[in-house]
Structure 1
Amino acid sequence: MKRIAVLTSGGDSPGMNAAIRAVVRKANFHGVEVMGIYHGYEGFIEGRMELLDLGSVGGIIQRGGTKLFSSRCPKFKEEQYQLQGIEKMREAGVEGLVVIGGDGSYRGAMELTKKGFPSVGVPGTIDNDIPGTEYTIGFDTALNTVIESIDKIRDTATSHENSFVVEVMGRDAGDIALWAGLAAGAESILIPEEEFDIDDIVARIEHGIARGKKHSIIIVAEGVMAGNELAKILNEKANITTRVSVLGHIQRGGSPSARDRVLAGQFGAKAVEVLLEGRSGRAVGIKNHQLYDYDLEEAFSNKHKADLSLYTLSKELSI
């Protein structure tokens, strides 16, 4: 290959810029040009791109978000637009594509592969919910953002002797809630992968009060229910008044952590290697600290599983 392209799609995550940088510099190292496609699959369809050289990706490794911007493009599910985008790429001499994103982005890459356009997926999502890889780009940074926020909320909870419900991102996956809750010492954690008992949450709060504790932190993933809804249930069920903090999109922003920068560098470089080896329809990931690539279809034919041993541990440590 003499020219490939890279795009970011779906929700942004810290470390995407570091991955873009890695794709460009790894490809350039092997004498391959890289076109940066703007606004995800929308830009792919319209051929909205420009050549990225070494200088154009300088100074972005520490920046959150994505230099190439991102968007969701429902019409890309239609074959006519997929073929239109492929034609635009071929007109520009692009022979392969690196897609940085989550589940929906991977599905787009798989469709392109089936139509003869080589594509490789790089996992970029704060939810850490891509099957086939233990970690995704952005998860570690988002996790640390949430933990820092919970630590600050606990200061207020302690000072005013209040209980707080903290709502975090995670529609279908509870990794942010689970890991942050364990790391920040939350009294209860609610995740989509595990049913919860409201009586158990109430009992934990009451047990804490009985031993002299004046505050508690409850973490709920948005996929379980809204924080305000949980607070209402607690008030109606046991007359427990709680304050609610919805962290929202602050979780997606910020300078990527060292871990995310290294992971992005590894993933971006690996994706280029896969394309240059003549393989496509692959995704890159990491397992047991080892970098590898696997069939893209595995990423959405299997279901993400939370580490429920952490869920059990959090209950044991929050007595």
Structure 2
Amino acid sequence: MKKIAVLTGGGDAPGMNAVIRAVVRRGIFKGLEVYGIHHGFKGLIDGDFVKMSKGSVGDIIHRGGTILQYAHFENFKTVDAQKQAIAQLINAGIDGLIVIGGNGSFKGAEKLNTLGFPTVGIPVTVNNDIAGTEYSIGFDTAVNTAVAAIDKIRDTASSHDRTYVIEVMGRHAGDIALWSGMCSGAESIIIPEADHKVEDVIDRIKQGYKRGKTHSIIVVAEGVGKGIGRELGKVIQEKTGFDTKVTILGHIQRGGSPSAYDRMMSSQMGAKAVDILVEGSKDVMVGLKNGKLIHTPFEEVVKDKHTLDLSIHQLARSLSI
């Protein structure tokens, strides 16, 4: 292993640049040449490679987004495209690849491994929805962004005696909603992993008003259904008569400077991925379990399903009475 490359796939997340920095500097520390691939799998097909130096990743640990950028590229699902990508890597003398991203990116990485090219993955997505790891880089920052926004919305909700429905990201997972709702004291948290009844949400709002509350915060995950935030807000206003507003936080949750925890995990996982390649392993994703770095075969990552700790949801309900 003399030359390795790194690319970022899928949606950006806080911490991606910190991972790139760790991969590049750990690689150089290990005596490797490290190449960055611009625009994800599309850049891999196009041969859009650039040799990275220690200086090329200076002052990026705190920056959101990805300096390597990303481009959507559906054609990578074809075997011809995958073989073309491997040919580009081999022609450049590259011996191993590190893919930074989420579920879609790891499906592509698994295909490269199947065709014989050593590839290792690092989980980076605000959704925290990847199997084989308890944590995905970017999640902590996204939750903190959501909590900060909800805290501000609560101020205005209290001032105007309003109910607010706040829709957060997460794709098909409810992790951001659960954590941000729990940490901001939301009266109800609605996630795709747990059954919910609108009647129950409305009853909890009414009970709060009976004991003197003049405002309520409802946090809902986008994965519950398309347009769920606006739909729920409309129903609550119709059923209660309370002034109800809807806020969809959107892509603000994917931007910004990564938290200290995300920077720490980025540094550790990035370095670990390089070490795995140097040791001769492949076809795995670096992950976190019980506070320890692990690696999980891509086959398990792409086939298994992320699970959410529903005991936190039950705790949130008991604390928001």
Q: TM-score, normalised by structure 2?
A: 0.98
Deviation at 1:57, TM superposition (A): 0.4
Question: Which aligned pairs between 1:178-257 and structure 2 lie closer than 5 A?
Answer: 178-225=178-225, 226=227, 227-257=229-259
Return the offset for 1:185: 0.2
Q: CA deviation at 1:233?
A: 2.0
In 1, Cα distance between equivalents of 2:83 and 2:99: 17
Residue 143 of structure 2 is aligned to residue 143 of structure 1: yes
Query: Where do residues 256-295 of structure 1 align in structure 2 (5 Å cutoff)?
Result: 256-295=258-297
Report the equivalent of 1:75.
75
Unaligned runs of 5+ in 1: none
Could you tell me which amino acid in structure 2 is paired with residue 304 of structure 1?
H
Q: Which residue of 1 is the match for residue 317 of structure 2? A: 315
Q: Which residue type is aligned with residue 4 of structure 2? A: I
The answer (yes or no) to whether the contact 1:171–1:224 under 8 Å persists in 2 is no
- For residue 239 of structure 1, report the CA deviation from its aligned partner: 3.5
8 Å CA contact retained: 1:6, 1:100: yes
- Residue matched to 1:11: 11
Task: Answer whether contact 1:27 1:272 (CA < 8 A) is retained.
Answer: yes
Match of 1:25 in 2: 25
Give secondary structure in 2 for the equivalent of 1:43. helix
Task: After TM superposition, give the deviation of residue 83 of structure 1 in Å.
Answer: 0.7
How far is 1:237 from its partner? 3.5
Distance in 2 of aligned mates of 1:92 and 1:258? 36
Residues 81-120 of structure 1 aligned to structure 2 (within 5 Å): 81-120=81-120
1:302 corresponding residue in structure 2: 304
Aligned residue type for 2:241: N
Query: What value does the CA root-mean-square deviation take over the aligned residues?
Result: 0.8
Overall identity of the aligned pairs, in %:
56
The range that moved more, 148-157 or 226-235, is: 226-235
Structure 1 range deviating more: 235-244 or 273-282: 235-244
1:165–1:231 CA contact under 8 A, matched in 2: yes
Distance across 2 between alignment mates of 1:94 and 1:258: 32
Greater displacement, 183-192 / 235-244:
235-244
Asked if structure 1 preserves the Cα contact closer than 8 Å seen for 2:206 and 2:240, the reply is: no
1:297 to partner: Cα distance: 1.4
Cα distance in 1 for partners of 2:206, 2:302 equals 42
How many Å separate the matches in 2 of 1:245 and 1:115?
46
SS at match of 2:315: helix
Q: CA deviation at 1:195?
A: 1.4
Q: How far off is 1:238 after superposition?
A: 3.7
**How far 1:279 moved relative to its partner?**
1.0
Asked if 1 retains the 8 angstrom alpha-carbon contact of 2:23 and 2:274, the reply is yes
In structure 2, what residue type is equivalent to 1:286? L
2:93 match: secondary structure: coil
Counterpart in 1 of 2:43? 43
2:172 aligns to what? 172
Task: Please give the alpha-carbon distance, in whole angstroms, between the structure 2 residues aligned to 1:230 and 1:140.
Answer: 27
Unaligned runs of 5+ in 2: none
Q: How far apart are 1:169 and its partner, in Å?
A: 0.3
Distance in 1 (alpha carbons) for counterparts of 2:104 and 2:242: 40
Asked if the contact 1:120–1:283 (Cα under 8 Å) also holds between the matched residues in 2, the reply is yes
TM-score w.r.t. length of structure 1: 0.99
AA in 2 matched with 1:228: R
AA paired with 2:191? I
CA contact (8 A) 2:4 2:35 kept: yes
